[in-house]
Amino acid sequence: MSVPFLVFFACAFLSVLGAVLLLVSWEPIHSALSLILVMMSLAVLYLLLGAEFIAAVQIIVYAGAIMVLFVFVIMLLNAGNEERTDWSKIAKVVGLPMAFFLLLLIARGLSRSVIGATIANGVGARSNAGVSTRDLSTALFRQYLFPFEATSILILIALLGAWILARKDD
Amino acid sequence: MDPGEERRLSIIPISYYLVLSAILFGLGAVGVVFKRNIITILMSIELMLNAVNLAFVAFARAHGQIDGLVFVFFVIVVAAAEAAVGLAIVIMITKNRESLNIERINLLKF
């Protein structure tokens, strides 16, 4: 067992643990903290994959900005314990077997598709071109300049929309 | 990049990353369906976006292509915008309904 494998399995375990904790915790703030755990371990995985810039953006934007926004809203709304509601009878009797059946169908379809074959055989990781931050920025500002500028308009619209939705009615 | 580092980066098969990505995406989807708190549902959506990002980065690495990383960048930007608007909607709903439980938000429910 070499070091990259150990790092990978540690981070994979931490991220799955965080995702499970997000699901089982009843307090929203605990869910937010476990989601930060998932994002941190994914950032380490990005480093392992050689994507340094994406790892930095993951920590700064996701774990920093977006999760702080979530935590602020949880505090603002005083979001406490989640209400427990019972499932309806039809959901218990019909829903669970149907969901299981649907999952089986999807798994069967995937295992026969190109993606399934890729997962089964494994793509040979031949990375001849070094995927560096310099290449990323060159691609971003040359080939993808128009989408990049379009995202600034998207951010502006989101900003205005959030302001209009959350302001006081008067 | 020297050969030693090349080997270090490519030693883990891409399929491991894809399986991890699928597990995280599935857990996120389960959260969207089963959780009752609207903020936790938004967080589960973020988890699904993260899982997709992991698959993008893994494929970008496997093919030595930059486009996957650029796409991850855009996904993060869109996730930020989505979180801002989504949380604003959550604040507005909570002001009107006095509850974060989605079972109570049932005006359009048959």
Angle, CA A70 vertex, CA A67 and CA A71 arms, to 5°? 90
**A53, A127, A166: residue with CB nearest B88:** A166
pLDDT at B1: 46
pLDDT tens digit sequence for A54-63: 999 999 999 8
Residue whose C-alpha is closest to residue A29's, from B32, B105, B90, B37: B37
The length of chain A is 170
Helix (H/G/I), strand (E/B), else coil: B101? strand
Determine whether B98 is exposed, middle or buried from the number of CB atoms within 10 Å of its CB (0-12, 13-18, 19+): exposed
The C-alpha R_g of chain A, in whole angstroms, comes to 21
Q: Do A129 and B64 touch (CB under 8 A)?
A: yes
Mean pLDDT of A107-119: 74
pLDDT tens digit sequence for A38-72: 999 999 999 988 888 999 999 999 988 999 999 99
Tell which wins on pLDDT, A113 or B27: B27
Determine the residue among A25, A54, A106, A155 to mutate to test chain B binding: the one whose Cβ has the most chain B Cβ atoms within 10 Å: A54
Mean pLDDT of A165-170: 76
Q: Is the pLDDT score of A25 beyond 60?
A: yes
pLDDT tens over chain B, length 110 residues: 455 555 544 578 888 888 899 899 999 998 998 888 899 999 999 999 999 999 999 888 888 888 889 999 999 999 999 999 999 999 888 888 878 888 778 788 76
Give the integer Cα–Cα distance in Å for A138 and A133: 9
Give the max Cα distance, chain B: 63
Angle, CA A122 vertex, CA A137 and CA B74 arms, to 5°? 25
User: Do A155 and B80 contact (CB within 8 A), yes or no?
Assistant: yes
User: Do B57 and A49 contact (CB within 8 A), yes or no?
Assistant: yes
Residue whose C-alpha is closest to residue A14's, from B49, B55, B24: B24
Q: Is the pLDDT score of A128 beyond 60?
A: no
Residue type, B105: I
Q: Do B27 and A16 touch (CB under 8 A)?
A: yes
Q: Is the pLDDT score of A6 beyond 70?
A: yes
Paired tokens of A159: 């900003």
ipTM of the complex: 0.86
Q: Is the pLDDT score of A130 beyond 90?
A: no
Paired tokens of B13: 């098969």
> Which residues numbered 41-80 in B keep a CB inside 8 Å of some CB on A?
42-44, 46-47, 50, 53-54, 57-67, 69-70, 72-74, 76-80
Q: Is the pLDDT score of A18 beyond 60?
A: yes
The number of beta carbons lying within 10 Å of the beta carbon of residue A29 is 15
pLDDT at A90: 79
User: Do A42 and B75 contact (CB within 8 A), yes or no?
Assistant: no
Name chain A contacts of B66, Cβ cutoff 8 Å: 129, 131, 135-136, 139
User: Do A7 and B17 contact (CB within 8 A), yes or no?
Assistant: no
Share of chain A above pLDDT 90, in %: 42
Give the integer Cα–Cα distance in Å for B110 and B106: 8
Q: Is the pLDDT score of A164 beyond 50?
A: yes
Give the integer Cα–Cα distance in Å for A108 and B69: 30
Of the options 3.10.20.30, 3.50.50.60, 3.40.309.10, 1.10.287.3510, the CATH number for the domain spanning B3-104: 1.10.287.3510
Q: Within 13 Å and on the Cβ side, how many CA atoms surround A25?
A: 20
Chain B residue closest in CA terms to A134? B66
Chain B residue closest in CA terms to A5? B12
First CA to last CA distance, chain A: 64
Q: Is the pLDDT score of A146 beyond 90?
A: yes
Paired tokens of B89: 């909607």
Helix (H/G/I), strand (E/B), else coil: A82? coil
Helix (H/G/I), strand (E/B), else coil: A50? coil
Name chain A contacts of B3, Cβ cutoff 8 Å: none
